[in-house]
Chain A
Amino acid sequence: MRGRQTLVTIALHSSRKVVMKNQYDTRGSWLAEHVLPHEPGLRSWLRRSARLSEADIDDLIQETYANLFTRPSVADIADPRSYTYQVARSILLQNLRRAKIVTIEAVADVSSLNVTAAAPSAEQLVEGYCELQRVTDAIEAMPSQTRRAFWMRRVEGMSQRQVAQALNLSENTVEKHIMRGIRLLMDQFGRGGKPPRQASMTRTDNDVEHGTQGGNEKSRVSSEN
């Protein structure tokens, strides 16, 4: 009986693994295509209309992505842009209502936030191109070894192991470079095209560096659990 249960658990885990990877690839791909290009616009809309701080915007953006990622299906979303704005707006409302100290005006303000008023402008129609350019710029700005590993894995399609062999690095180091590259993209992409804030960049570099050298972001993470 006990033995059988163990078997079932293992089977679940291994099929789960496949499902997981698939979900990141398929939903991640949808997010990349339909949501990322609108993120800078969404951020500036939140900054302008809802007058949120940068830290609050970062939180809200993460919650918005969480909602879109865990949604059972995205096939029914006809207009991903306005849907994303609506999700962000309803999370913001929820958070405001849940907060202990919140003025009625704040809730009223956000309730009246007009999602359609944020319709795409002429410039935003070429946004897709600019977004790619922004990512390209971010890749160019990476430290050279990180950029090299990132490029070989992502664009040339080599596996992390193959990259490690080509660059004569350990697989662990290659993984750290990929991590660092993704981290830099996460930071630079979010700021809506503004030059990265000096303080934030410096701090981020240290964080990444720390993670790279210690090789132990796991322990940091688990200590927070």
Chain B
Amino acid sequence: MRNRESAQKIDDAAAAWAAKIDRGLNTEEQAELDAWLAADKRRVGALARGYALWIHAGRAGAVAVPDPNPIEVERPQITRRALLVGGAAAASLAGIGVFAILREQPGGIATEIGEIRRVALLDGSAVTLDTASRIRVAYQSFERRVTLLAGQAYFEVAEDPARPFLVEVENILVQSLGSAFSISTAAGLPISIAVSTGRVALSRYVNGVTTSIARLEANTSIDVAGRGDVSLQAVHTLDPVELDRTLAWREGKLSFAGETLVEASQRFARYSAVRIVVDPTLADERITGLFAANDPRGFAKAVAVSLYARYEENEKEIRLVRPAVIKK
């Protein structure tokens, strides 16, 4: 039964034919294709499927744009050289800027744990990436699209009415209307959007349909559930102090106003490998204050002092323990 051509082999040939159909077949090739198809019905199916995927891929590009390397299209000669050399050898000063952007493209622009970085984009806009964050930039003639893949980012947008600036996170699209705003995404938490100047329009993409869901003015924020969920929480108005707090991470600071100790420890965990382990009896203590994000020890010591807790440390973690003698 199984001495016939494998589905994998058929797929190989089908992919080749799909690429040829895409560029156009000559009469001879057409006859060859007809003969190939006539020999096994599965070949017809494999080619139909391959071509359908080819069409589908174009649609994917319209929704979530991966790595179009816009610079490369504009300046093929420089890019070509950078690609050929492929490494540090392309060290002419003129090449470095382009090269840096190119290198960043495949996985997007990313920050390491503990790193906070402000990056200028090609159009004069700027993005600040929080710790362990990643974006993908896709600029085209008709739009500027950035996908937030992980973490948190703050966008300062250079307006260009002819080319809308869109930030995509999961299935939420945020369009800037002359604005600066931050977006954060984290597993298990809603997507959080805060606007500091201008306005943004929010829409949601489900099953090929984009639906407008809200408009946010400056000094407001919203939490939106991501993929699949259509629930929408209320818009919060932020006073200037709250807004500063929300955006404090851009200066490498963590600002708390009544978060629990566990929540605060989790925020610190995003900025370094050091973990703060909290005694369950201390978990719900409320924390207020402004702390350096890269200094979990300093934070834990301050907490220990104010909560009468004991501070312990080893290579792996910091522990906050309630001493047995002091009962609350």
Binding site for B on A (CB under 8 A): 10, 13-14, 16-17, 20-21, 24-25, 27-29, 31-32, 35-36, 55, 58-59, 61-70, 99, 122-123, 125-129, 131-133, 135-136, 139-140, 144-145, 147-148, 150-156, 159-161, 166-168, 171, 175-176, 178-183, 185-187, 189, 200, 203-204, 207-208, 211, 217-218, 220-222, 224-225
Contact = CB atoms under 8 A, between A and B. Distances in A.
Contacts of A211: 12, 16
Interface stretch (B61-69, B257-265, B301-309): B61-69
A166 B77 CA distance: 9
Interface residues of chain B: helix, strand, loop or mixed (majority): helix
Given A16-B30, A32-B52, A21 B24 contact: yes
A66 B48 contact: yes
A14 B27 contact: yes
A183 B173 CA distance: 31
Contacts of B18: 178-179, 182
A217 B44 contact: no
Nearest to B11: A186
Given A36-B56, A185-B57, A221 B45 contact: no
Interface string B37-64: 0010111111111111111111111111
Contact of B207 (A68, A125, A133, A181): A125
Nearest to A27: B48
A51 to B, nearest CB: 17
B5 interface: yes
A135 B56 contact: yes
5 contacts: A13-B27, A61-B7, A66-B48, A136-B64, A186-B50
Contacts of B42: 59, 62-63, 66
Nearest to A218: B32
Contacts of B9: 207, 224
Interface residues of chain A: helix, strand, loop or mixed (majority): helix
Contact of B48 (A14, A59, A65): A65
Contact of B11 (A20, A69, A187): A187
Contact of A59 (B7, B19, B23, B205): B7
Contacts of A62: 7, 10, 41-43, 45-46, 49
Contacts of A31: 48-49, 52
Interface of B: 1-2, 5-16, 18-25, 27, 30-32, 35-36, 39, 41-69, 72-73, 76, 80, 83, 106, 140, 171, 205-208, 227-228
Given A58-B6, A66-B41, A185-B57, 17 more contacts: A20-B25, A28-B51, A29-B55, A32-B59, A63-B42, A68-B48, A127-B207, A135-B53, A151-B68, A154-B58, A155-B57, A156-B140, A182-B15, A182-B18, A186-B11, A218-B32, A224-B9
Nearest to B70: A156
Given A28-B55, A135-B57, A126 B45 contact: no
Contact of A136 (B25, B30, B31, B60): B60
B67 A58 contact: no
B12 A208 contact: yes
Contacts of B35: 225
Given A65-B49, A139-B60, A147-B67, A175 B80 contact: no
- Residue among B19, B49, B106 facing the most chain A CB atoms (10 A cut-off): B49
B8 A203 contact: yes
Contact of A13 (B8, B30, B205): B30
Contacts of A35: 52
Contact of B19 (A36, A178, A187): A178
A217 B13 contact: yes
Contacts of B11: 183, 186-187
B57 A150 contact: yes
Contacts of B30: 13, 16-17, 20
A186 B54 CA distance: 9
Contacts of B8: 58, 200, 203-204, 207
Contacts of B53: 32, 36, 135, 182, 185-186, 189
A139 B227 contact: no
Contact of B64 (A29, A65, A133, A161): A133
Contact of B51 (A24, A144, A176): A24
A222 to B, nearest CB: 8
A168 B7 contact: no
Nearest to B141: A156
A202 to B, nearest CB: 12
Nearest to A153: B22
- Residue among A154, A161, A200 facing the most chain B CB atoms (10 A cut-off): A154
A4 to B, nearest CB: 18
A132 B63 contact: yes
